[in-house]
Amino acid sequence: MTAYLDHAATTSILPAAARVLTEHLASVGNPSSLHTSGRSARRTVEEARERLAAALGARPSEVIWTSGGTEADNLAVKGMFWARRTQDPQRRRLLVSAVEHHAVLDPAFWMTEHAGAELVLLPVDRDGVLDLDALAAELAAHGPRAALISVMWANNEVGAVQPLAEVVALARRYGVPVHADAVQAVGQVPVDFAASGLDALTLSGHKVGGPGGTGALLARRDLDLTPILHGGGQERGVRSGTLDAALLASFAVAADEAVGARPTSAPRLAALRDRLVAGVLELAPDAVLRGPADPARRLPANAHLTFPGCEGDSLLYLLDSAGVEASTGSACQAGVPRPSHVLLAMGVPEADARGALRFSLGHTSTVADVDALLTVLPAVLDRARAAGLAAGPGTPATAPRPDVASGVL
């Protein structure tokens, strides 16, 4: 039986969300149509909007449906930048933390190449937490030229929870809007859009037990956004496209249930995480826990470790062969593994960064899943280290199973 420890990549759909999805799949009607079936579909969409907004401390009118977290991040970065540049051509600086997901980083880099943006990568400390002094210095020097700030609520690799209250307070002094990717945070830590003071927030359906292909950008009604999709003018004219009532109803139920269960699920997952970390460090004393050591400053379901003398991909494939599924947390292009940009930004040496594994827990996780990892880990580490020695110093070890896809950011 497989032990699935990669819930940060995607988690299984919640039973209630699956029921709602199947109930609505047979319904017909375009939510933009005016006949009876269309109005019924529209009612489903708007009830889902109300439910999602209530779960996250937002107003229904602040919910913009998207196809997922990537689209929502793109809409936030590009839409906010273009709108601000139109209002004030001097506001060209994009302030983005160096440990953002590529759904934020890649649009930001694209804007520098195609839209005249000036990208500022904000540094983080050794735990992966934003350097607030660096942000303050940047704003003091160039605040009137800042178009927006994007800092994730919690990091998807090392689980570091970011100091968003302080970020928002600094940004307000200079009139700079703030966006946060909260894809990993929703359902794990308290997320209240109104209380946060944020201007925009991203979430994704399949991270909270909903269906894939669903997401949302929460955006203040007075926040100007330039559309990146054009067509029928749905979603406040900001995000055109026919809405899927069944998917959105399921997404809203999942988010509502995940948020509602958090007071009990988060402590349960934190206990499992602590059992996992303690067990791994007992079996591999030279392994290093990455991210904040203080449990209050990291996601309860996240455990990210590096293993000296090992290649993360080798560990991943060996664990998979032994029935344990995890993630390296690194990007892999054209079959060439690269160390995580998050770990490098934290100052982790490249050689150490290559030996990274992320274990992430979810609503189906059990003690048996953790113990399955601890049972097979010693043999996996022995084989991975032997492969590393055979490859020679500075040479990535050949992965035992190159047919298996590498980790997901």
CATH number at residue 319: 3.90.1150.10
Q: Which residues contact 165 (CB under 8 A, 6 or more apart)?
A: 196, 197
Look up 310 and say whether it is catalytic: no
pLDDT 10s digit of each residue in the chain, 409 long? 899 999 999 999 999 999 999 999 999 999 999 999 999 999 999 999 999 999 999 999 999 999 999 999 999 999 999 999 999 999 999 999 999 999 999 999 999 999 999 999 999 999 999 999 999 999 999 999 999 999 999 999 999 999 999 999 999 999 999 999 999 999 999 999 999 999 999 999 999 999 999 999 999 999 999 999 999 999 999 999 999 999 999 999 999 999 999 999 999 999 999 999 999 999 999 999 999 999 889 999 999 999 999 999 999 999 999 999 999 975 444 355 689 999 999 999 999 999 999 999 999 999 999 999 999 999 999 999 988 665 555 554 433 333 322 233 3
pLDDT reported for residue 100:
98
Q: Give the three-class secondary structure for 60.
A: helix
Residue 302 within a domain: yes
* 30 assigned to some structural domain: no
Asked, for residue 85, whether it belongs to a domain, the answer is: no
Q: From the centroid of its chain, how far is CA 327?
A: 14
- For residue 321, tell me if it sits in a domain: yes
Taking the C-alpha atoms of residue 353 and residue 407, their distance in angstroms, rounded to an integer, is: 13
Is residue 335 included in any domain, yes or no?
yes
Q: Catalytic pick from 283, 289, 332, 386?
A: 332
**Does 372 reside within a domain?**
yes
Confirm whether 286 is domain-assigned: yes
Distance CA 234, CA 243 (A): 8
> Which residue range forms the structural domain that includes residue 335?
3-9+262-391
With beta carbons less than 8 A apart as the criterion, state whether 93 and 148 touch: no
Q: Map residue 4 onto helix, strand or coil.
A: strand
For 136, 275, 328, 405, the CA distances from 342, given in Å and listed in that order, are 21, 25, 12, 20
The DSSP letter of residue 405 is -
Domain count, the chain: 1
In a domain? residue 355: yes
